[in-house]
Chain A
Amino acid sequence: MTSITDPPQGSSFRLSMLINDTRYRSYTFQAIAFIVLALAIGYLINNLFTNLAAQGLDIDFSFLGAPAGYDINQRLIEYTSQSTNLQAAIVGVLNTLLVSFLACVTATVFGVLAGVLRLSNNWLVRKLMAIYVEIFRNIPVLIWVLIIFTIMIAVLPGPREFRGDDASASMFLGISAFTNRGVYIPLPFFERGFGGGMDLLMVIAVLVGSFFGARAVTARATRIQEATGDRPATLLTNLAIWFGPLIAVFVIFGLSFEIPELKGFNFAGGIKVGGPLIAIWFALSIYTGAFIAENVRAGIQAVSKGQTEAAGALGIRPRRIMSLVVLPQALRVIIPPLISNYLNITKNSSLAILVGYADVTATLGGITLNQTGRAIECILLLMLFYLTISLLISAVINVYNNAIKLKER
Chain B
Amino acid sequence: MKKTAFYGALTVAGLAASMASAATLDDVKERGVLNCGVTTGLVGFASPDANGVWTGFDVGVCRAVAAAVLGDGDAVEFVPTTGKTRFTSLASGEIDVLARNTTWTFSRDVDLKFEFTGINYYDGQGFMVPRDLGVSSAKELDGATVCIQTGTTTELNLADFFRSNSISYEPVPIETNAEAQVQYLAGACDVYTTDASGLAATRASFENPGDHVLLPEIISKEPLGPLVRHGDNDWGDIVRWTLNALIAAEELGVTSANIEELAAAPTGNPEVNRLLGTEGELGAMLGLEADWAKNAIAVGGNYGELFEKNIGENTPIGLARGLNAQWTDGGLLYTPPFR
Contact = CB atoms under 8 A, between A and B. Distances in A.
Indicate yes or no for A touching B, C-beta below 8 A. yes
A123 B246 CA distance: 73
A160 B129 CA distance: 12
A373 B108 CA distance: 8
B39 to A, nearest CB: 14
Interface residues of A, number: 41
Given A55-B113, A371-B155, A373-B111, A81 B186 contact: no
A409 B88 CA distance: 61
Contacts of B144: 264-266
A52 to B, nearest CB: 9
A71 B162 CA distance: 10
Interface in A261-279: 263-266, 268, 275-276
Of the listed residues A81, A265, A373, the one surrounded by the most CB atoms of chain B closer than 10 A to its CB is A265
Among B83, B112, B158, B173, which residue has the most Cβ atoms of chain A within 10 A? B173
A181 B156 contact: no
B171 interface: yes
B189 interface: yes
Interface in A24-46: none
A115 interface: no
Interface string A152-165: 01100111110000
Nearest to B182: A153
B9 to A, nearest CB: 16
Contact of A71 (B143, B171, B174): B171
Interface in A158-185: 158-161, 180-181
Nearest to A266: B143
Interface in B196-238: 229-231
Interface string A56-82: 110000000000011111000000111
Contacts of B92: 51
B87 interface: yes
Interface stretch (A94-102, A104-112, A352-360): A352-360
A32 B229 CA distance: 41
A369 interface: yes
Interface in B150-205: 150-153, 155-156, 158-160, 162-163, 169-175, 182-183, 186-190
Contacts of B156: 69-70, 81, 371
Interface string B49-76: 0000000000000000000000000000
B113 to A, nearest CB: 5
A158 B187 contact: yes
A256 interface: no
A292 interface: no
B264 interface: no
Nearest to B189: A181
Interface in B106-164: 107-108, 111-113, 130, 132-133, 141-145, 150-153, 155-156, 158-160, 162-163
Contacts of B172: 73, 276, 356
Nearest to B172: A356
Interface of B: 83-84, 87-88, 91-92, 107-108, 111-113, 130, 132-133, 141-145, 150-153, 155-156, 158-160, 162-163, 169-175, 182-183, 186-190, 229-231
Given A160-B130, A373-B108, 11 more contacts: A69-B160, A71-B162, A73-B171, A80-B163, A153-B183, A157-B187, A159-B187, A160-B187, A370-B151, A371-B153, A375-B87
